[in-house]
A and B are shown apart, each in its own frame.
Chain A
C-alpha cells in the first residue's frame, strides 16, 4: 500500500477540506491576537486497535482533546500522524479514520496537518498514532498542583477504569464477552461548563495511564499536603468492578479515557457538580474526597473505616491469582 495512494484514497476524502485542501506541507493558522495558546502531543500504541466502545482513532483524538481541556484550553486544531504496518487490513484503517473524523467533528476540532508512513511487517503492531493539539486558553483558568490547598475538594466526572478494563478483558483473552465498554470520550465541554467558576478551579487532569492513583499521587508528591478519598464515594461501573474482581486488579490504578479529575475550592464544588451533571458525560460526577495536611500521601478510607495508602502504580497492570 503506497503512502501516496493511501493519502489520495483515504485521507483526502475525509480530511481534505479546510486547511488540508491541496495538502500543503504545513497549516497556516489564524491565532487570535493576545490569546495564550496551549500545545500538547500524545502518542497512542493501544493493543488491541479496536475494543468495545472505540478504537485507536477516537482514542487518539479524545486523548489530545482531553489534555488540552485539562489545561483549561478550548481545543481548536489537531495534527494526525499515522505509522502503519504493512499488511494492516484496509478495512481496519478505514474504521479508524472514520472514528478520527467523527471524534474530531464532534469536538469541533479540525485536523489541519498530518503524515502517514508505512513500515515493514512486524513493526509497530498494526498501527501507531500520534496527535498534537492546539487550543485556546480559556480566560480565568490558572491551574497547577501548586495552587492546591488543604480543604479543597476532589471531584471526578464519572465512573473510573472502564477503558482499562475493556482493553484488558480483550487482551488477556479471558473471553469476557459483552463485558465492559471503554469510556473513551471528550471532556472539553465539562471544562467549558465551569468557565464561570474558573477562579476556584485549582487543578484538572484526565486519569489515563495509572488511573486515579497516579493523578492524585502526582498532586501531592513532594508537597506539604495530602489527599483523603473515601471508598464509599468512588464511582465504578458494575462491569468494571466485576471484571476487576475476576482479574484481581485495583480500579484506582486503571485508566479512563473520558473522565476528568478536578481539585477545586470547597466554595465552588457544589456548583461544579451541578454543571457537570447537566451534561451526559458528567452524569456520574461525584465528590470523592478532599485535600489534607498529611504530607505527600494519598490515603483511602476503606469501607471498614480503616485507612490505607493509595500507592503510586508500579509497572504493568497484570491479572493475578494471589
Chain B
C-alpha cells in the first residue's frame, strides 16, 4: 500500500503543483507535502503527491553497495572451476 515512484522535478508552478518526470514521461505532481522541493530535485510520488525528497547521496551510496556485490558475484562466477562465465 505504498506504491510510489522516484520522479525528477522539471517545472514548478506557483499553485503548489509541479511537472515531474520519470524517464522523460512527465506527470503532474502536488508538492504541498514537500514544499522545499526545487527543479531538479528527485521526489517520491504516491497517488499524485510528492511525499518526500530522495536523498541522492544516500541513493548513490546504496547503489554503490549493490554494484560492489554485483562485481563480487561476477568474480565468484568467473573464478569458479569448470564454470563458463
Direct contact of A and B (CB under 8 A): yes
Chain A residues within an 8 Å CB radius of B26: 176-179
| Whole-angstrom CA separation of A239 from B3 in the bound complex | 18
On whether the beta carbons of A174 and B25 are closer than 8 Å, the reply is no
| Whole-angstrom CA separation of A248 from B1 in the bound complex | 11
On whether the beta carbons of A174 and B48 are closer than 8 Å, the reply is yes
CB distance from B77 to the nearest CB of A (A): 13
> How many chain-A residues does the 8 Å CB contact rule pick out?
18
Chain B residues within an 8 Å CB radius of A174: 27-28, 48
A314 at interface, CB cutoff 8 A: no
Chain A residues within an 8 Å CB radius of B1: 321-322
CB distance from A88 to the nearest CB of B (A): 29
**A209-230 to B contact mask, C-beta < 8 Å, 1/0:** 0000000000000000000000
On whether the beta carbons of B3 and A320 are closer than 8 Å, the reply is yes
Which B residue sits closest to A322, measured CB to CB?
B1
Among B2, B5, B24, contact of A246 (Cβ-Cβ < 8 Å) = B5
On whether the beta carbons of A246 and B46 are closer than 8 Å, the reply is no
A299 at interface, CB cutoff 8 A: no
| Docked complex: B1-56 residues within 8 A CB-CB of A | 1-3, 5, 22-28, 45-48
CB distance from A317 to the nearest CB of B (A): 15
Among B5, B25, B46, B47, contact of A179 (Cβ-Cβ < 8 Å) = B25
Chain A residues within an 8 Å CB radius of B27: 174-176, 246
A180 at interface, CB cutoff 8 A: yes
| Whole-angstrom CA separation of A87 from B15 in the bound complex | 36
Chain B residues within an 8 Å CB radius of A177: 26
Chain B residues within an 8 Å CB radius of A320: 3
A6 at interface, CB cutoff 8 A: no
CB distance from A26 to the nearest CB of B (A): 48
Q: A174-B28, A321-B1, A321-B3 are in contact. Are A242 and B48 (CB under 8 A)?
A: no
On whether the beta carbons of A242 and B22 are closer than 8 Å, the reply is yes
| Whole-angstrom CA separation of A287 from B15 in the bound complex | 48
A139 at interface, CB cutoff 8 A: no
CB distance from B48 to the nearest CB of A (A): 7
CB distance from A164 to the nearest CB of B (A): 15
Q: A241-B23, A242-B23, A245-B5 are in contact. Are A321 and B46 (CB under 8 A)?
A: yes
CB distance from A146 to the nearest CB of B (A): 37
Chain A residues within an 8 Å CB radius of B2: 321-322
Chain B residues within an 8 Å CB radius of A36: none
| Whole-angstrom CA separation of A248 from B27 in the bound complex | 15
CB distance from B13 to the nearest CB of A (A): 12
Interface centre among A180, A241, A246 (most CB of B within 10 A): A246
| Docked complex: A229-250 residues within 8 A CB-CB of B | 238-239, 241-243, 245-246, 248
| Whole-angstrom CA separation of A174 from B21 in the bound complex | 13
Chain A residues within an 8 Å CB radius of B3: 248, 320-322
B binding-site residues for A, Cβ under 8 Å: 1-3, 5, 22-28, 45-48
Provide 10 A-B residue pairs closer than 8 Å at the C-beta atoms, listed in order of the A residue: A174-B48, A176-B25, A179-B25, A238-B23, A243-B25, A246-B22, A246-B45, A248-B3, A321-B47, A322-B3
Other A-B pairs, 17, CB within 8 Å; known A176-B25, A322-B1: A174-B27, A174-B28, A176-B27, A177-B26, A178-B26, A179-B26, A238-B24, A239-B25, A242-B22, A242-B23, A242-B25, A246-B45, A321-B2, A321-B3, A321-B46, A321-B47, A322-B2
